[in-house]
Chains A and B, each alone.
Chain A
């Protein structure tokens, strides 16, 4: 069964706009990871945030984690057409542990 729920399921924006997607989960976690998948290909790792962290940045990406609400958000700033992809959150309940994935958010960025 999936640990996470993501919303929205789909998001359509124009280049230059920001995209925000949310992930909620059900049980306590060790860490939460965000991935990008282009057209059903392999997953690209974006960011890992640990349960004792609240915010992380990587380039145009910003991830927040609120363990009290069991939720995380991924913000992509100044989006580009190349950001068009599906984005997944995945939670691990322990170190090196197996991941449980959310349903994913499909993002389309139009020029």
Chain B
């Protein structure tokens, strides 16, 4: 299975600022995804990170708020822009390894004050 790392593991940020979260995979993968888990809630898909093209966003999520980059098959970033306390969540990246199974990174716990 793919080994996934995320940076930072946690951060405390001031409202109005932006944070970029990195996701690194130890092997090339076709599909990478970004999810959000609000406190006490389940996971919600933010977007699919497409290599070489713009990310595909789910309903309720927009590129201006959550810009995503995917420069190659092992790396992606998610930026949370102009943050407010409502953005306090765990952000997780996941990858699909070609066998339908999705593996998740350890998550980034974000607190916005």
A interface list, Cβ under 8 A from B: 2, 30-31, 33, 35, 40-45, 48, 50, 88, 90, 92, 95-96, 98-104
Contact = CB atoms under 8 A, between A and B. Distances in A.
Shortest Cβ-Cβ A-B pairs, 5 listed: A42-B106, A43-B104, A101-B43, A96-B96, A101-B42
Contacts of A90: 43, 102
B100 A45 contact: no
Contacts of B103: 45
Interface in B21-57: 30-31, 33, 37, 41-45, 48
From B42, B100, B107, residue with most partner A Cβ within 10 Å: B42
Main secondary structure of the interface of B (DSSP, over half): strand
Interface size band for B: 20 to 34
Contacts of B105: 42
Contacts of B92: 42-43
B97 to A, nearest CB: 9
Interface of B: 1, 30-31, 33, 37, 41-45, 48, 58, 90, 92, 94, 96, 98-107, 109
B100 A40 contact: no
Contacts of B100: 30-31, 48, 50, 92, 95-96
A41 B106 contact: yes
A37 to B, nearest CB: 9
11 contacts: A41-B106, A43-B43, A43-B94, A45-B104, A50-B100, A88-B42, A88-B43, A95-B100, A96-B98, A98-B45, A101-B44
Contacts of A30: 100
Contacts of A99: 33, 43, 45, 94, 102
